[in-house]
Amino acid sequence: MRNSMKVAKWEIKRNMMNKSYFISLFLTPAIFIFFFTVPGMFTSDPADDELLVYVDDRIGVWEQAEEHISRENMNIITDSSFESEDEILRELEQYTEDAVIIQITEERIQSGAVPVYLSEDVDEMAVFQFNALEQPLRQLQLENLGLDETEAALASAGVSLTPVSAESETEAVEEAAADPLERLVPGLFAGAILFAIMFTGMMIFQSASQEKKEKVSEMVLSSVTPSDLMQGKIMGYFVLGIVQVLFWAAVALPLVQWQTDIPVFDYLFVPELALLLLIAIAGYLMFAAIFVSLGATAEDVNASSNFQGIIMMLPFLPFVFIGPVLSDPSGTLAQVASFIPITSPAILLLRLSVIEEWPWVELILALLVLFGSILIIMKLAGKIFKTGILMYGKNATPKEILKWIRQ
Amino acid sequence: MEKVLSVSQLGKSFKDRQIISDISFEVHKGEIMAVLGPNGAGKSTTIRNIMGIMYPDEGDINFHGYGDGAIPRHRIGYLPEERGLYKNVKVMDILLYFAELKDYPAKKAKERALHYLKKFDLEGKEKTSVEELSKGMGQKVQFIASIIHEPELLILDEPFSGLDPVSQELFKKEIRNLADNGTAILLSSHQMNLVEELCDRLFMIHRGQKVIYGTLDDVKARYANFKCTIRGRNDRERLQQLTDVQRVEEQEGRSVLHLSRETHVPGWLRQIPEELDIQELSIDRISLHEIFIGIATDRLGAKEADLIEK
């Protein structure tokens, strides 16, 4: 273990000094920030500018609807009074800032159209911000037509179709209350970790292959055992991957929270995250073991055979199942894919991000299968690595690899 | 002499082919022991088995002073035949990494690294990236990496291959120096002239089997017959008829008379006929190189020899 740590330390140091790692560490968040902020600079968001709202309410409807109208980015002046439409239009022309004038009078209600006057640059969509006025206005209109207050209120509320599922009422209430992002955020984070460290994991392939190509492995193996070397590489690249992900997360998450108002951090740091991270790490260990042993079989990445190419594609297999699993996260396909080691980490993360009630029994069984497979894969990878890393000068064929496993 | 390593009856096969069999020898403290043999004789396989990089099918490897079967990796220095270093790292970093792998203190390692870099004409190169070094420089760095931790046993697989004569001399001097300071050295080579100048004992391996084992002097006494070189115009037939002459080679006005092993040199000189044209005459033993060629081409036959160990 001590020797593995030394190898890990070396791999970390060697790569941290490496330009390509450095570039990917900083460039990715830089690109992210660029795409997140730069387009916003060119498109001015109307919500960003303060909207002046003049309300000339002669009936008192505004007061009834006021609490349902968002006051964000709005400066509302309710004691305005305008004589005529011409005056309103003249007034609006004079404003340099965005302004809206709402005039509510008896006549307007009777005519059924309450105008919302907009200054030149204000988008017509701004009208929807005052939707809350519609219901009390309709009620007034109905009262004017002779209905009493209760009848008018009832009629103006309208009739709507309400879905009622077979779920117990409390669950339905909970579900309605729960924000889907609450589950999704930790899942997405763990998924991002899985894929980011998996990409770093692919660097293990290169590292093992390079070690073989540069013929340095024999020298290293005179000091440490092959399994020390393999474990050291897996650990080293894990740390490199994690450093990368955490750095990216440290840049991206506050940015997302700031720009979208989603309480990302509240959603992220929940107990469930620990399990999701465990699955992501298990996934990494499995693919890292596959990659490191595969790297030991190929001297030249470009000249590696189709066989190596196919294995390299394995981590992307779960993508095929994303659609069907999302449409039915508890379906047969999702369940089967949770028990196949190659797809299991990604599919489990995906399912746990969307399923409200986690299927614990199934989850524990799937994890046991996953951990068992990792142990077996690691053992086999060790055998392949041990022989492959010293076989200079050629890429191993699948037949040879099979033979090493049987040894 | 204190034994550092004993190899007994080592055997290894790949598929159905026996690569080495019944290989036994010892390496002592402060001596240079050479494993010699033509390409493909099994030298590197023997060394890889000693290093635990391969596992032997038969036989025992014993590092004295360490438990049975244990390989004291941190006390061994190893320079493999296949040379290579990490490319995109600095010279000092890689030397310190190898020292760390051997549990050697970093501070001492740094001092030694600087000392050896200077010794090998690489002063000031400690911050240079390995990929910027020439092939010869890279080999020097790798040699330093193999001795940085003051090993008790140093195993060098073809240390001179690919080196220019100046570097060869440098390596030779350093190897001798290390042995004089008590390091047990096991080296493999097929460059006989270098080995002849350097080694104390040798083990010659051919087709995976021992053919010669003993001290250099013993090997020479036993295998290196005398040869007499005569410059002058002489009939080859006439020379061939002289007593104890096994064969005659003619090269550019010189005749080389290979004498049989039992030849008594003063007696043989006395019976040289007066009519021979002798402008120059010299008598010496055939070199290790010639013994080696003889064995490799089966001219000397696979005469097994178990010479007295010293």
Residue-wise pLDDT tens digits, A91-143? 888 877 788 888 888 888 888 888 888 888 788 888 888 888 888 888 888 88
A252 plus A392 within the same structural domain: yes
**Is the confidence at residue B270, as pLDDT, over 60?**
yes
Closest CA to B287 of B256, B255, B242: B256
Q: Is A22 on the interface with B (CB under 8 A)?
A: no
Nearest CA in chain A to B89: A14
For chain B, the three-class secondary structure string (H helix, E strand, C coil) is CCEEEEEEEEEEEECCEEEEEEEEEEEECCCEEEEECCCCCCHHHHHHHHCCCCCCCEEEEEECCCCCCCCCHHHEEEECCCCCCCCCCEHHHHHHHHHHHCCCCHHHHHHHHHHHHHHCCCCCCCCCEHHHCCHHHHHHHHHHHHHCCCCCEEEEECCCCCCCHHHHHHHHHHHHHHHHCCCEEEEEECCHHHHHHHCCEEEEEECCEEEEEEEHHHHHHHHCCEEEEEECCCCHHHHHCCCCEEEEEEECCEEEEEECCCCCHHHHHHCCCCCCCCCEEEEEECCHHHHHHHHHCCCCCCCCCCCCCC
A199 plus A141 within the same structural domain: no
- Residues of chain B with C-beta less than 8 angstroms from the C-beta of A3: 101
Tell which CATH architecture fits domain B1-72+152-224+301-310. Answer: 3-Layer(aba) Sandwich (3.40)
* pLDDT confidence bin for B181, thresholds 50/70/90: very high
User: Pick the residue with more confidence: B304 or A280?
Assistant: A280
Most confident range, picked from A130-139, A161-170, A336-345, B301-310: A336-345
**Is the confidence at residue A202, as pLDDT, over 50?**
yes
The answer as to whether A78 is a domain residue is: yes
pLDDT of residue B143: 93
The answer as to whether A396 is a domain residue is: yes
A264 plus A347 within the same structural domain: yes
A326 plus A206 within the same structural domain: yes
Instruction: For residue A82, give Cα distances in angstroms to A55, A96, A104, A137, A145.
Output: 10, 19, 11, 20, 27
Asked if B78 and A222 come within 8 Å (Cβ–Cβ), the reply is yes
Asked if B80 and A215 come within 8 Å (Cβ–Cβ), the reply is yes
Residue among B53, B76, B89 whose CB faces A218 most closely: B53
Give the residue from A157, A189, A208 where a domain finishes. A157
**Is the confidence at residue B125, as pLDDT, over 80?**
yes
pLDDT of residue B304: 39
Tell me the two tokens of residue A398: 């699948």
Alpha-carbon distance of A268 to A289, in angstroms, equals 29
User: Pick the residue with more confidence: B122 or A80?
Assistant: B122
Alpha-carbon distance of A310 to B172, in angstroms, equals 49
The interface pTM score, or ipTM, of the predicted complex is 0.77
The answer as to whether A369 is a domain residue is: yes
Nearest CA in chain A to B146: A219
**Is the confidence at residue B32, as pLDDT, over 90?**
yes
The answer as to whether A14 is a domain residue is: no
Instruction: For residue A112, give Cα distances in angstroms to A52, A106, A131, A145, A302.
Output: 25, 10, 14, 12, 73
pLDDT of residue B154: 93
A254 plus A377 within the same structural domain: yes
Alpha-carbon distance of B94 to B129, in angstroms, equals 10
A127 plus A253 within the same structural domain: no
Q: Which residues contact A83 (CB under 8 A, 6 or more apart)?
A: none
Among A48-52, A243-247, A376-380, B195-199, the range scoring the smallest mean pLDDT is A48-52
A220 plus A314 within the same structural domain: yes
Give the total number of structural domains in chain A.
2
CATH number at residue A96: 3.40.190
- Residues of chain B with C-beta less than 8 angstroms from the C-beta of A17: 88-89
The answer as to whether A13 is a domain residue is: no
A349 plus A394 within the same structural domain: yes
H or E stretch covering A182: helix A180-213
pLDDT of residue A176: 45
Asked if B53 and A215 come within 8 Å (Cβ–Cβ), the reply is no
The answer as to whether A392 is a domain residue is: yes
A389 plus A264 within the same structural domain: yes
A267 plus A349 within the same structural domain: yes
- Which structural domain, as residue segments, surrounds residue A316? 180-406
**Is the confidence at residue A48, as pLDDT, over 60?**
no
The answer as to whether A33 is a domain residue is: no
The answer as to whether A69 is a domain residue is: yes
**Is the confidence at residue A5, as pLDDT, over 80?**
yes
The chain B residues in contact with chain A (CB within 8 A) are: 48, 51-54, 73-74, 76, 78-80, 82-89, 93, 97-98, 100-102, 142, 145-146
Domain boundaries, chain B: 1-72+152-224+301-310, 88-146, 226-285
- Residues of chain B with C-beta less than 8 angstroms from the C-beta of A236: none
Asked if A219 and B84 come within 8 Å (Cβ–Cβ), the reply is yes
A147 plus A219 within the same structural domain: no
User: Pick the residue with more confidence: A111 or A41?
Assistant: A111
Give A303 to chain B, closest Cα distance, Å.
Answer: 20
A187 plus A53 within the same structural domain: no
